[in-house]
Amino acid sequence: MGAGPGGMTAAIYASRARLTTVVLERNTAGGIMNVTERIENYPGFPQGVTGFELSELMKQQAIEFGADLREITSVVALEQRPGGGWLVVTDEETVAARAVVLSPGVEARRLGVPGEAEFMGHGVSYCATCDGPLYRDKEVVVIGGGDSAVEEGMFLARFASTVHVIHRRDELRAAKIAQERAFAQPNMHFHWNGQVRAIVGETKVEAVDYEDLLDHSQHTLPVAGVFFYVGQLPNTDFLQDVVALDDNGYIVTDEHLRTSRPGLFACGDARAGLIKQIANAVGEGALAAIEAEKYLDTLDFEAQQASVAATGTPEPAAG
Ligand SMILES: Cc1cc2nc3c(=O)[nH]c(=O)nc-3n(C[C@H](O)[C@H](O)[C@H](O)COP(=O)(O)OP(=O)(O)OC[C@H]3O[C@@H](n4cnc5c(N)ncnc54)[C@H](O)[C@@H]3O)c2cc1C
């Protein structure tokens, strides 16, 4: 479930292993790659590749090997199937599966300041790639200091007259190469030790109020757009009573990517792992599918042994 790079790689491996493979995706295939302007660190693309292009290539490859991709289909529950396996309940249908690879990814964390929810879509955004062109020649602010904040800020700097970055620390967490580029960008301005207090405006965003955490002075920046990059939350609400999650809601697995329940595997950003990158999601997607295949082989072998013991004839493989 989930057709980001993790889920699509699992689908490529599973369908190529001739397993009947269904991919359930609530949006369109690609996951976060769909809203990433340019990807420069995925091997095989020395000039970089657009997120959209890489999504399309992965999707084609999965379909080519026979994966059945069902888009605009939200998974809402997982139930154990009587007699073994799982029922994957979506908003449209219920799919019976002998094994499931969970790859639901993460979504942007909300900061929860006044004005954030009210002005969503009216100046508040979590996706520069989607909304950046709307802010041509306007001033915008990016909240955050990690890779996403800096990379998306650089993208906004192509359109906006000025990109302000408010970060609550006095240095960025982003990769050094991204930092160097951002500091060299003439229309990017950094506001260190800043904590956003409110987004203000009448019918749309007009300014951001923030506090200098060192001297507690209050400031107002007149801007037309606010882009939040303050962390992420795993899309695992529907898994709360199904598999073990860590304190932050990420799926716990062992090194074989097995969750706490038999037949359920997990990969990618929603898994409690160390890094959140496409290359990692792809590697984990491959491993999850290979482990799922081994798991099914073991089930088939055990069923055959039991059948031979009971009747003297092997049971046909389930496929
Ligand atoms: C702004 C930004 C820029 C980035 N740039 C880079 C980069 O340059 N290089 C890099 O390596 N990494 C980058 N990353 C990180 C990278 O995008 C992720 O690590 C990667 O996409 C994770 O893949 P995934 O398959 O685990 O999850 P996702 O890509 O998040 O895919 C999960 C999929 O599951 C679907 N889904 C979720 N819940 C359900 C449900 N209930 N039912 C059905 N479908 C569901 C979602 O719609 C989504 O399509 C970036 C991330 C961000 C936020």
Q: Ligand 1 pocket by C-beta < 6 Å: which residues?
A: 1-7, 24-27, 31-33, 36, 39, 41-42, 74-75, 103-106, 148, 151-152, 235, 238, 268-269, 276-279, 281
The pLDDT tens digits for 73-91 are 999 999 999 888 999 999 9
Catalytic residue among 91, 130, 170, 246: 130
Structure tokens at 300: 């088939």
Task: Establish if 47 belongs to a structural domain.
Answer: yes
The answer to whether 212 is a known catalytic residue is no
Residue of 73 and 303 predicted with greater confidence: 73
* DSSP state for residue 80 in the 8-state scheme: E
pLDDT (0 to 100) of residue 122? 94
User: What's the one-letter identity of residue 238?
Assistant: F
CATH code of the domain covering residue 178: 3.50.50.60
Which of 278, 280, 284 best tests ligand 1's pocket when mutated (most atoms within 8 Å of CB)? 278
Show the domain range for 27. Answer: 5-108+232-311
Task: Establish if 101 belongs to a structural domain.
Answer: yes
Query: Of 196, 228, 260, which closes a domain?
Result: 228
Same domain, 241 and 95: yes
pLDDT (0 to 100) of residue 19? 98
CA of 288 to the centre of ligand 1 (A): 17
Query: Of 228, 246, 276, which closes a domain?
Result: 228
Task: Establish if 172 belongs to a structural domain.
Answer: yes
Task: Establish if 114 belongs to a structural domain.
Answer: no
Q: How confident is the model at residue 258 (pLDDT cuts 50, 70, 90)?
A: very high
Q: How confident is the model at residue 307 (pLDDT cuts 50, 70, 90)?
A: confident
**For the CA of 27, the nearest atom of ligand 1:** 47
Catalytic residue among 68, 91, 131, 267: 131
pLDDT above 60 (res 165) = yes
The pLDDT tens digits for 13-57 are 999 999 999 999 999 999 999 988 888 899 999 999 999 999 999
The answer to whether 131 is a known catalytic residue is yes
The pLDDT tens digits for 198-232 are 999 999 999 999 999 999 999 999 999 999 999 99
**Mean pLDDT estimate for the chain:** 95
Catalytic residue among 68, 91, 127, 247: 127
CA of 29 to the centre of ligand 1 (A): 10
Give percent above pLDDT 90 in the chain.
85
Task: Establish if 113 belongs to a structural domain.
Answer: no
